[in-house]
Amino acid sequence: MIRQLALCAALAAGPALAQELSLPGGARQLTERISALDSYDLPVGVFTGNAVPARTIEGRIERRTWRVQAGSRTTLQVLAPLREQIEAQGYEILLDCEARQCGGFDFRFGTEVVPNPDMYVAIRDYRFVSAMRGDEALSLLVSRNPPDAYIQLIRVIPNGSDDHVPLVVTETASGSEGLLAELHRDGRAILDDLVFGSGAAALGEGQFASLATLAGLLDEDPKLRVALVGHTDDVGTLEGNIALSRRRAEAVRARLIEAHGVDGERIEARGVGYLAPRTSNSTAEGREANRRVEAVLLGSR
């Protein structure tokens, strides 16, 4: 379900060491701009009422953006693995905030953002992290424009540091390989590129890679069956949510039959409402993460 993209760069400690970051599946680089010598105002605090506190750093500046097929993933779900990896590589987090905490509109327009369409920022749905490792600075900005998420990375290598390794992108696994691995390992996987309207059961238009992969798996093994299980957040009654979650599972089942030619007798559609959450429903992001459809392998018939 996840395609891993490795971003390799040198640690400040020396050229023999390497930093590795993995972007989520479906990531496509939109832009890359490298300035041999420039300055960047690294945000180190939230908007204070008149400005975004920042530390001006001069040096080689690398600006990159990506678009990711986010599906039901929240901005936190996209950002968290990246944040964990930069911390593991020795970066000290200076600022870590979500849209409202950062300062919303004022923060977004008080910090550097690559212009649209190469970077999209929803004023109420973004997350920002800035970090330092020695004299090296790095910032990450993640936002969503469903079904996609956008990632911006700005990295500053200070003047006089000539031992860095350029940031490169290499593909190490495909989305289909990730989904298949998860299904074989756990017997279940979230079809996280699916898109439903708020409160709606109709599946959005488009080519959903997860469905093509699932159809391919069923085609390879005619004895396999699968249950599609719909899940919701906890807004509303249990009965209403179970009905909605089942209708969404049925919409996915219909798409597999109509668009991919899967035998309907090999696919069940079920709904469990809010009875099996992925995370807490106490936040908007948690509720969004809990709205999903999972595939469960049932084995041979």
The mean-pLDDT minimum among 69-78, 80-89, 251-260 falls in 69-78
| % of the chain at pLDDT higher than 70 | 84
The mean-pLDDT minimum among 8-17, 36-45, 51-60, 85-94 falls in 8-17
As a three-state string, the secondary structure of the chain is CCCCEEEEEEECCEEEEEEEEEECCCCEEEEEEEEEEEEEEEECCCCCCCCCCEEEEEEEEEEEEEEEECCCCCHHHHHHHHHHHHHHCCCEEEEEEEHHHHCHHHHHCCCCCCCCCCCCCECCEEEEEEEEECCEEEEEEEEEECCEEEEEEEEEEECCCCCCCCCEEEECCCHHHHHHHHHHHHCEEECCCCCECCCCCCECCCCCHHHHHHHHHHHHCCCEEEEEEEECCCCCCHHHHHHHHHHHHHHHHHHHHHHHCCCHHHEEEEECCCCCCCCCCCCHHHHHHHCEEEEEEEEEC
| Dihedral of alpha carbons 69, 297, 187, 196, sign | positive
Q: What confidence tens digit (pLDDT) does each residue in 280-301 have?
A: 888 777 787 788 899 999 976 5
Say which residues have a Cβ less than 8 Å from residue 281's Cβ, sequence separation at least 6. 233, 234, 235, 274, 287, 290
Residue 171 pLDDT greater than 60, yes or no: no
The mean-pLDDT minimum among 51-55, 115-119, 168-172, 251-255 falls in 168-172
Q: What confidence tens digit (pLDDT) does each residue in 9-37 have?
A: 333 333 333 456 777 766 788 999 999 99
pLDDT for 148 equals 82
Rounded Cα gap, residues 2 and 12, in angstroms: 29
pLDDT for 159 equals 78
pLDDT for 176 equals 57
| pLDDT band per the 50, 70, 90 thresholds, residue 250 | very high
pLDDT for 81 equals 85
Helix 209-220 with 175-186: angle, nearest 10 deg = 60
pLDDT for 284 equals 76
Spatial strand order in the sheet of 168-171:
14-23, 5-11, 168-171
The mean-pLDDT minimum among 26-35, 62-71, 179-188, 254-263 falls in 179-188
Write out the residue limits of the CATH 3.30.1330.60 domain(s) in the chain: 175-300
pLDDT for 283 equals 77
**Fold for domain 175-300?**
60s Ribosomal Protein L30; Chain: A; (3.30.1330)
Average pLDDT across the chain, whole number: 83
**Higher-pLDDT residue of 13, 158:** 158
Q: What confidence tens digit (pLDDT) does each residue in 227-247 have?
A: 999 999 999 999 999 999 999
| pLDDT band per the 50, 70, 90 thresholds, residue 5 | very low
pLDDT for 177 equals 59
Q: Which of 103-112, 161-170, 213-222 has the highest mean pLDDT?
A: 103-112
**Higher-pLDDT residue of 193, 15:** 193
